[in-house]
C-alpha cells in the first residue's frame, strides 16, 4: 500500500529546487516510546549498530544531515524488528522534522529520529587572532 505522505515526499525530492547536499554521519540519536507504560528513552547508535528496547530491536543503517546546516533536519534509515515477528515492522527512512511521513506503525511502541551526531565545529578564526594580538 502506498502512503500519500510518501508520494508527496517523493514528488518534492524529485525537483531540482528541492535538491540539497547531505553529509553522512557515523551515528544518530533516536527516541523510543513504550505507549503502554509511558517509558521513554533516547538511544545513540553508531551506523550498523543495534539496540534492544522492549520487544524491539532497532538498527541504525544510516544517518545524514544537510551539509550546509548540520543542526538542521536529520534523516535516518532504520530497520526495526519486533520479537517473534519474522519480517521487520519498519524498514526505511525517517525524517526528524516530519516523523509522520514515514512512521513506525506499531500498537505499543513508537520510534523516531531526533538528530544525527555531527562533528564538532572548527574553532573560530576570530578567537585565534584575539589571543595572538594580546601578547603584543
Give tens-digit pLDDT for 68-91: 877 778 999 999 999 989 999 999
Q: Which domain holds residue 34?
A: 19-116
State the cell numbers at 124. 573560530
Is residue 131 one of the residues assigned to a domain?
Answer: no
Number of domains in the chain: 1
Is residue 42 in some structural domain?
yes
What is the Cβ-side half-sphere exposure of residue 65, based on CA atoms within 13 angstroms? 20
Quote the pLDDT of residue 94: 93
pLDDT value of residue 31? 94
- CA 70 → CA 74, 78, 107, 134, distances in Å? 8, 20, 33, 33
Q: Is 56 part of any domain?
A: yes
Residues 53 and 32 sit within 8 Å (Cβ to Cβ):
yes
Distance, C-alpha 124 to centroid of its chain: 28
Taking the C-alpha atoms of residue 7 and residue 101, their distance in angstroms, rounded to an integer, is 9
Rounded to whole angstroms, how far apart are CA atoms 57 and 67?
29
Q: For residue 124, is it within any domain?
A: no
In a domain, 103, yes or no: yes
100 found inside a domain = yes
Distance CA 135, CA 97 (A): 47
Q: How confident is the model at residue 62 (pLDDT cuts 50, 70, 90)?
A: very high
Answer whether residue 96 is part of any domain.
yes
Amino acid at each position: 500500500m502506498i502512503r500519500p505522505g510518501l508520494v508527496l515526499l517523493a514528488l518534492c525530492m524529485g525537483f531540482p529546487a528541492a535538491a540539497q547536499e547531505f553529509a553522512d554521519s557515523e551515528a544518530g540519536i533516536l527516541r523510543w516510546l513504550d505507549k503502554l507504560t509511558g517509558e521513554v528513552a533516547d538511544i545513540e547508535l553508531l551506523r550498523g549498530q543495534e539496540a534492544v528496547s522492549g520487544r524491539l530491536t532497532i538498527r541504525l543503517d544510516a544517518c545524514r544531515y544537510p551539509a550546509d546546516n548540520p543542526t538542521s533536519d536529520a534523516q535516518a534509515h532504520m530497520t526495526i524488528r519486533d520479537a517473534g515477528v519474522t519480517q521487520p515492522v519498519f524498514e526505511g527512512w525517517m525524517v526528524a522534522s516530519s516523523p509522520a511521513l514515514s512512521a513506525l506503525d506499531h500498537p505499543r511502541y513508537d520510534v523516531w529520529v531526533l538528530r544525527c551526531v555531527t562533528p564538532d565545529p572548527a574553532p573560530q578564526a576570530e578567537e585565534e587572532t584575539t589571543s595572538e594580538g594580546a601578547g603584543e
